[in-house]
A and B are shown apart, each in its own frame.
Chain A
Amino acid sequence: MTNRMGKFSIDRRAYDDVVITTPVSLPYVRFSEQSAHWWIGRALRALVDGSGIEARDIDGFCLSSFTTAPDTAIGLAEHLGLSVRWLDHVPLGGASGITGVRRAARAVQSGDCDVVACIGADTNQRGSFGNTLANFSRFSQDAVYPYGAGGTNASFALIARNYMEQFNVSREDLGRIAVAQRSNALKNPNALMKEPLTLDQYMNARPIADPIHLYDCVMPCAGAEAVLVMRQDTARACGIAGARLRGSIERHNARSIEPMQTSGGWVEDVGELYSMAGVGPDDIDVVQTYDDYPVICMMQMEDLGFCRKGEGAEFVRSHDLRIEGDFPHNTSGGQLSCGQAGAGGSYVGLTEAVRQVLGTAGDTQVKGANLALASGFGMMTYTRGLSSCAVILSGEGA
């Protein structure tokens, strides 16, 4: 691994004894008549029920959602009766969960608050997906959406096609990722997809925007994911198990002058991620990449150091990505098979990673998982994912 730190010489401080606890994944529904406020309230309730911490002791709140308008985090705090001394609103799409947890970790570490509820939630009413797309960003309004209104599918099709040609990646290679995730999802009772997926089915799926076909796409749905962030002493006092935050990175609008996106912002910071955590890619037991499209998973396998750029196809051919495989990847089934609950999707890998290192993943549990990596990717405001982030977690034994 090369450390790509550029002119900024400042060292990231360790997170000391910050832990992430109480992973909550509410069962998704394809369409919901409830509001995002409702889903967020339900997630808070699950955090309280799951941790035994009382609502009034939650003194930090970090929210990510696309569908709370006109409210933001503060409106939700009043709506749901939270009185907090630290509050953050993280509107970063698929990068929200990990970014939110990073913010919360610094807040509890600095004593700015004690317990932060971090929630990603969105409702999915008929029309809300289109509404989110249409109002996503100014660039998308001005320069993407009017070009076919293909939403992210069209934009990712352009990235995927370029990537596949440049690095000799076939649809079969990408299919392996989707098929393995579906296999994992069948062990996750919350996953919306209940049927197995074969490589044949993947290959023969109807095209959406070449080369993106049906099983390359996530299914928008309603749902919520959440965690609590606190210091180890707080967790111990409450008798809650937590995953330690060993290292994390984020980056926005990296390498914007490259004509086509072939890597995410991770490549700028990945050295620091591992050096902070004191481990290397080989030490990671389970990997949860952000899977809006399989091609992005492959990009992350490269950018996060599991193989070199251009070797992603060979990597997925030579590894078994299932729970029981040698490279357990997106063990809950990921968004591709669980569904994408808007900004909640940014927490899917994180909550699963916490469960894995705490050994509470149930049927999707990877045996002996102690070190997990989860990454996030989001904000397709124009022609590329603008925001990227990653986190390494370890179980308490680590």
Chain B
Amino acid sequence: MSDPLTPPKRKDPLVVTHAGHVPPALRSRAATAMAARAGLGRFVLQVCDDCARATYPQRDRCPFCWGELSWQDQPDGAVIEAQTTIRSSIDLFFKDHLPWRIGSARLDAGPMATVHLHGDVGQGDRVRMELKLDRSGNPALFAMPEKETPHMADDPQLRVFTADPKYRRILVTDGRTETGQAVAEALLKAGAKTVFLGNADPLMRYPGQDRIEAAPGIEPVRLSLTDTRSIAALAGQLGGRVDIVVNTAQFARQGGVGFGGNLNDLQSGLDLEVTGLMRLAQGFAPALSGRSDDGDRSAAAFVDIASIHGLTGRAGFAGSSAAAAARLSLLASLRGEMARTGIRVISVLTGPVDDGWHQNVPPPKTAPAQIARAVVTALQQGQETICADEVAKDVLTRWQDDPLLTIREENK
């Protein structure tokens, strides 16, 4: 079993914050393709289109018959054939995390692989492989116990690859919405120490305010994503203490483009969701980055919840989808920036949320609780992209398969 994580002690103000490093980031294009799938929580290997054998490390051609390779989900079982504990490393990141355990895993899928080891597994063990992302956003094979072990998630080596909310202090940007409240509650339930819950207009009450603000662990804060000054003020106040930022801002309005679109809605949506995301990132990303490897208390993730229709556009919600598209684009760039500092950037993709702005949309719709679950799962798994619900999953699957077709379908 793993030692249970203990609540981090208060930081000694005289101790220099540990500078964040990331594991070696130089990878091949094929490895980067693996990362893209790892980010979705898939366990994939390259499989030959001709001879159907799986291969690893990442190749560009099959080593058995020189056929073309494609990425496929693979059985995730493996056996650890050998293990070692690295006690000396010339890499800054690993040097900081020594001792570090790795092993040689014989994957059920066929190939041998060098893998990171969970504390509860060792030589001879059957394990369950997970394809994680390391702190530089690159793929990492991680051997987990085959069956759940006590405090499994608290394994210090595993926690390097996740952004588990346990004992972490988290900013949720918009407590005025049902989604924001559901996310805050789920994070507390998952062990978060504190949730700073944003309120764009503390002078105005909001539904559910009394209940959520009374919840233990909730600290209401003034935060308006459309107000640069309020973000600067909050970052100045909390920047050094927030470990995870979850942006739940949403401005969904019905409307077309040439017909029935509302320019003010578009502007408001862009200001809140797009410019607001950039304001939030500018306020908090530097502070998060500065604490990306600060032991138990390290900053871990920046989460953004956006409509899946940012990928495709959507008839009837043109402006909202455009804002989501811009938001996903900003987030992709932010992900690249944050990969250099070791902060995971997570996209939670949703279908139409079951709220007042989607009253005319037939079900299935996304319940705020589903979004909250997805946020927690992504953080616990260290996943980069997660679909909160069936609609998002469906659109993403179709989009991965044929983007242009899906764009047409969603805009009919």
Interface size on B, residues (CB 8 A): 40
CB of A147 within 8 A of CB of B89, answer no
Contact of B113 among A141, A143, A157, A162 (CB under 8 A): A143
Q: Mark A95-139, 1 if CB is under 8 A from B, else 0.
A: 000000000000000000000000000000000011001110011
Contact of B57 among A133, A143, A150, A259 (CB under 8 A): A143
Contact of B112 among A146, A149, A151, A259 (CB under 8 A): A259
A259–B107 alpha-carbon span in the complex (Å): 10
Complex: chain B residue closest to A381, CB-CB: B57
Q: Mark B75-107, 1 if CB is under 8 A from A, else 0.
A: 000000111111111110110000010111010
CB of A142 within 8 A of CB of B30, answer yes
Residue A240 CB within 8 A of the other chain? no
Residue A375 CB within 8 A of the other chain? no
Residue A208 CB within 8 A of the other chain? yes
Residue B236 CB within 8 A of the other chain? no
A212–B90 alpha-carbon span in the complex (Å): 16
CB of A209 within 8 A of CB of B84, answer yes
Residue B359 CB within 8 A of the other chain? no
CB of A208 within 8 A of CB of B58, answer no
Name which of B19-27, B285-293, B310-318, B341-349 contacts chain A.
B19-27
A159–B103 alpha-carbon span in the complex (Å): 10
Q: How far is the CB of A148 from chain B (nearest CB, A)?
A: 4
CB of B24 within 8 A of CB of A260, answer no
Sorting the interface of chain A by its residue count into under 10, 10 to 19, 20 to 34 or 35 or more gives 35 or more
> Which residues of A are found within 8 Å of B57, using beta-carbon distances?
138-139, 142-143, 382
CB of A158 within 8 A of CB of B86, answer no
Q: How far is the CB of A60 from chain B (nearest CB, A)?
A: 34
Given known pairs A139-B57, A259-B106, the reply for A149 and B28 (CB within 8 Å) is no
CB of B27 within 8 A of CB of A141, answer yes
Q: Mark B36-60, 1 if CB is under 8 A from A, else 0.
A: 0000000000000000000011100
Residue B134 CB within 8 A of the other chain? yes
Contact of A383 among B89, B93, B114 (CB under 8 A): B114
Given known pairs A259-B81, A259-B112, the reply for A151 and B87 (CB within 8 Å) is no
Residue A196 CB within 8 A of the other chain? no
Contact of A151 among B83, B90, B116 (CB under 8 A): B90
Complex: chain A residue closest to B115, CB-CB: A147
Complex: chain A residue closest to B138, CB-CB: A146
Given known pairs A146-B23, A148-B100, the reply for A153 and B88 (CB within 8 Å) is yes
Residue A154 CB within 8 A of the other chain? yes
A108–B136 alpha-carbon span in the complex (Å): 50
Contact of B82 among A135, A141, A260 (CB under 8 A): A260
CB of B82 within 8 A of CB of A147, answer no
CB of B27 within 8 A of CB of A209, answer no
Given known pairs A145-B24, A260-B81, the reply for A206 and B123 (CB within 8 Å) is no
CB of A209 within 8 A of CB of B24, answer no
Residue A184 CB within 8 A of the other chain? no
CB of B86 within 8 A of CB of A143, answer no
CB of A150 within 8 A of CB of B81, answer no
A141–B91 alpha-carbon span in the complex (Å): 13
A149–B135 alpha-carbon span in the complex (Å): 14
A142–B55 alpha-carbon span in the complex (Å): 13
Which residues of chain A from 259 to 294 have a CB within 8 Å of any chain B CB?
Answer: 259-260
Residue A210 CB within 8 A of the other chain? yes
Residue B330 CB within 8 A of the other chain? no
Residue A188 CB within 8 A of the other chain? no
A143–B93 alpha-carbon span in the complex (Å): 16
CB of B114 within 8 A of CB of A158, answer yes
Given known pairs A154-B102, A259-B81, the reply for A149 and B123 (CB within 8 Å) is no
CB of B104 within 8 A of CB of A143, answer no
A277–B373 alpha-carbon span in the complex (Å): 71
> Which residues of A are found within 8 Å of B116, using beta-carbon distances?
147-148
Residue B170 CB within 8 A of the other chain? no
Contact of B90 among A133, A142, A144, A259 (CB under 8 A): A133
CB of B84 within 8 A of CB of A259, answer no
A159–B114 alpha-carbon span in the complex (Å): 11
- Interface hub of B83, B85, B87 (most chain A Cβ within 10 A): B87
Given known pairs A162-B81, A207-B87, A260-B82, the reply for A147 and B114 (CB within 8 Å) is yes
Complex: chain A residue closest to B91, CB-CB: A149
CB of B88 within 8 A of CB of A209, answer yes
Q: How far is the CB of A78 from chain B (nearest CB, A)?
A: 30
A383–B138 alpha-carbon span in the complex (Å): 19
Complex: chain A residue closest to B23, CB-CB: A146
CB of A150 within 8 A of CB of B123, answer no
Q: How far is the CB of B69 from chain A (nearest CB, A)?
A: 14
A135–B134 alpha-carbon span in the complex (Å): 19
Given known pairs A129-B90, A133-B90, A209-B88, the reply for A146 and B28 (CB within 8 Å) is no
CB of B93 within 8 A of CB of A149, answer yes
Which residues of chain A from 185 to 227 have a CB within 8 Å of any chain B CB?
Answer: 206-212
**Which residues of chain B have a CB within 8 Å of any CB of chain A?**
23-24, 26-28, 30-31, 56-58, 63, 81-91, 93-94, 100, 102-104, 106, 112-116, 123, 134, 136, 138, 140-141
* Additional A-B contacts beyond A147-B116, A150-B88 (12; CB < 8 A): A138-B58, A142-B57, A143-B58, A146-B136, A146-B138, A147-B102, A148-B91, A149-B89, A149-B90, A151-B90, A210-B84, A259-B112
Q: Would you mind naming 24 contact pairs between A and B with Cβ atoms under 8 Å apart? A: A129-B90, A134-B26, A138-B58, A141-B28, A142-B28, A143-B56, A143-B114, A144-B114, A146-B27, A147-B115, A147-B141, A150-B88, A150-B102, A153-B86, A154-B102, A155-B114, A161-B82, A161-B84, A161-B123, A162-B81, A259-B104, A259-B112, A260-B82, A382-B114
